[in-house]
Chain A
Amino acid sequence: AAGVIQSPRHLIKEKRETATLKCYPIPRHDTVYWYQQGPGQDPQFLISFYEKMQSDKGSIPDRFSAQQFSDYHSELNMSSLELGDSALYFCASSVSQASETQYFGPGTRLLVL
């Protein structure tokens, strides 16, 4: 069965650089969630999209922005990277906002030096 695809899987950036993380949801899933998991932490919700519109926003820094495109893939853009942005970034998708289950992608490991 098709799963959520995230790219890149690993990313190394310098402070103050920018990064773009991509997420391709499971086919026919119209809802995408982004989570950030710091080392030794539980995942924290960043932002979500339903039918290409932002549906909810969590503790996402103003330096980050995201969008969902017409093909339902989503991109998380991160600017002015800081050391504290080093984390595992997950994208999850579900059939709808009301769906029970979110399926997670493999994550993108971002290291900011």
Chain B
Amino acid sequence: AQKITQTQPGMFVQEKEAVTLDCTYDTSDQSYGLFWYKQPSSGEMIFLIYQGSYDEQNATEGRYSLNFQKARKSANLVISASQLGDSAMYFCAMRETKGGKLIFGQGTELSVKP
């Protein structure tokens, strides 16, 4: 069975600094997709970044980058130049190959300090 693990329940970062949110996964599939979503206190789930298992380059989207280490089964999210608006819950997720449903980790609550 596929599983996502986020071991950091909460993280603090100073404004304008970079922060890494950890995510490890477990799957027996050869082809899979990994995602990061942001959930502010208002509740909506915002797509941030995607990494395919066969992508050789680490995914980047603006200030977000995904540090993908396939052998270690990790897909850490790096946020550069943190902003106050980055304070939110962050979920790592894996897309199940059959059917496409997302399996989420427990989430990491990020707080950006001014």
Q: Which of B63-71, B78-86, B98-106 contacts A (4 or more CB under 8 A)?
A: B98-106
A57–B13 alpha-carbon span in the complex (Å): 39
Which of B43, B47, B50, B107 is close to A42, meaning CB atoms less than 8 Å apart? Answer: B107
A42–B23 alpha-carbon span in the complex (Å): 14
Which of A48, A103, A109 is close to B47, meaning CB atoms less than 8 Å apart? Answer: A103
**A42–B44 CB distance below 8 A:** no
In angstroms, how far is the closest chain B Cβ from the Cβ of A13? 18
Size category of the B interface is 20 to 34
Query: Which residues of chain A (29-87) have a CB below 8 Å from chain B?
Result: 31, 33, 35, 42-45, 48, 55-56, 58
Residue-wise interface mask of B (11-54) relative to A, using a CB-CB cutoff of 8 A (1 in contact, 0 not): 00000000000000000000001010100000111110010100
Q: A42-B105, A42-B107 are in contact. Are A104 and B44 (CB under 8 A)?
A: yes
With both beta carbons as reference points, the residue of chain A lying nearest to B104 in the complex is identified as A42
Total A-B contacts with CB atoms under 8 angstroms apart: 62
A61–B111 alpha-carbon span in the complex (Å): 35
In angstroms, how far is the closest chain A Cβ from the Cβ of B108? 11
In angstroms, how far is the closest chain B Cβ from the Cβ of A103? 6
Q: A interface, by DSSP: helix, strand, loop or mixed?
A: strand
With both beta carbons as reference points, the residue of chain A lying nearest to B92 in the complex is identified as A42
In angstroms, how far is the closest chain B Cβ from the Cβ of A67? 17
Which of B45, B100, B106 is close to A31, meaning CB atoms less than 8 Å apart? Answer: B100
A106–B45 alpha-carbon span in the complex (Å): 7
**B100–A97 CB distance below 8 A:** yes
In angstroms, how far is the closest chain A Cβ from the Cβ of B31? 10
**A45–B102 CB distance below 8 A:** yes
A97–B99 alpha-carbon span in the complex (Å): 6
Q: A42-B106, A100-B33, A104-B37 are in contact. Are A55 and B44 (CB under 8 A)?
A: no
The interface of chain A, by Cβ under 8 A from chain B, is 31, 33, 35, 42-45, 48, 55-56, 58, 88, 90, 92, 94, 97-107, 109
The interface of chain B, by Cβ under 8 A from chain A, is 33, 35, 37, 43-47, 50, 52, 91, 95, 98-107
